[in-house]
Amino acid sequence: MIFAVAATTQTRKWVEAFRSRAPDLRVDALEDVPNPGDVAWIATWETAPGRFAPLTNLRAVFAMGAGVEKFLGRDDLRDDVALIRLNDAGMAVQMADYALYAALTVLRNFDHYDRDKAGFTWRPLRPRSPSSLRVTVLGLGTLGGFVAARLAERGYTVSGWSRSEKQIPNVRAVHGADSLDRLLAETELLISILPSTPETRNLLDARRLALLPRGAYVVNAGRGDQLDLDALLNLLDNGHLRGAQLDVFPTEPLPATHPAWENPALRITPHAAAFTLIDEAVEQMLDKLARFERGEKVEGLVDRTRCY
């Protein structure tokens, strides 16, 4: 049986990485497999319609990232095929850096200096201490939990919100829909790292964004369907929100004609908060594959009813 790889422009690098670490495993680019029925496992970014239909003996799909929403609800992917996501693979440290970038922006007034530069204004501003900044991280899974812990280690006052109960040292963790509104009302820096699920889509709508205190700063590095972009822009324009840093959008790439590009209070990054690192990802996938074939518990096995 074949372990296939479909990774767009980096397919060859992924194949080489798998082959070097698992010489006894037959690994091929999907495009090079003469008989798709020989594919038992596949690692892929690909979500083209019909991608999985020819893979009649497919046993598991290894997603090359933490998000799996594009693999769900497909008519070409059988329910009995295991869907396994990455838990970290080098992404957590990058995501923490992205969050710290936003936190430092708020503490050290770097966003104000950017705007002052545009107006040729020289205006030194006093920084704040990390402990004075009330940070909330939405999503306390592998990535979000790491981000919350890292911010707490740096001295920030950190709360976290999740669907189910979590415990993270030095982080006030709350859970459940009822607690979210109260938490938003006291949040000065909001960082969303939630997956895309029916419960999280449009979670940060106009009403909830307006609950944030005046002067709050918003970061979204989760999924673009969680946040009402038009409502965010309105709150930035009327001065209720200090600023925002967005890495994900409802439509990607963000259309060149979208007004978000011209908003001076909005920092835009092109879905670049955290990249999958090939070496780390391959090591993790091979470990998951071995556990899966032995019938053991596999971390990252997606519960399709929960969408993660």
Residue 220: pLDDT above 80? yes
Q: Are residues 185 and 219 in the same domain?
A: yes
Q: Which one from 108, 154, 258, 271 is the annotated catalytic residue?
A: 271
pLDDT at 219: 98
Percent of the chain with pLDDT over 70: 100
Same-domain status, 59 and 95: no
Q: Please count the structural domains in the chain.
A: 2
Domain for residue 157, yes or no?
Answer: yes
Distance of CA 79 to the CA centre of its chain: 24
- Whole-angstrom distance, CA of residue 272 vs CA of residue 136: 21
In a 10 Å sphere around its CB, with 0-12 CB exposed, 13-18 middle and 19+ buried, how is residue 98 labelled? buried
d(CA 252, CA 271) in angstroms, rounded, equals: 8
Q: Residues 267-293: what's their mean pLDDT?
A: 96
- When pLDDT is averaged across residues 180-200 and rounded to a whole number, the result is 96
CATH no. for residue 26? 3.40.50.720
User: Is 223 contained in some domain?
Assistant: yes
Q: Is 267 known to be catalytic?
A: no
pLDDT for 263: 97
Question: In the predicted model, what is the mean pLDDT of residues 271-286?
Answer: 96
pLDDT tens figures, 36-61: 999 999 999 877 889 999 999 999 99
Residue 206: band (very low, low, confident or very high) from pLDDT cuts 50, 70, 90:
very high
Asked about 128 being catalytic, the answer comes back as: no
168 and 183 within one domain: yes
Extract the runs of DSSP E, i.e. beta strands, from 93-209. Answer: 134-138, 157-162, 172-175, 189-192
Query: Rounded to an integer, what distance in angstroms lies between the CA atom of residue 270 and that of residue 91?
Result: 16
Q: Is the pTM of this model over 0.85?
A: yes
Mean pLDDT confidence for 136-159: 97
Instruction: Tell me the residue range of the domain where 198 lies.
Output: 91-268
Which one of the listed residues 150, 163, 208, 223 is annotated catalytic? 223
Is 166 contained in some domain?
A: yes
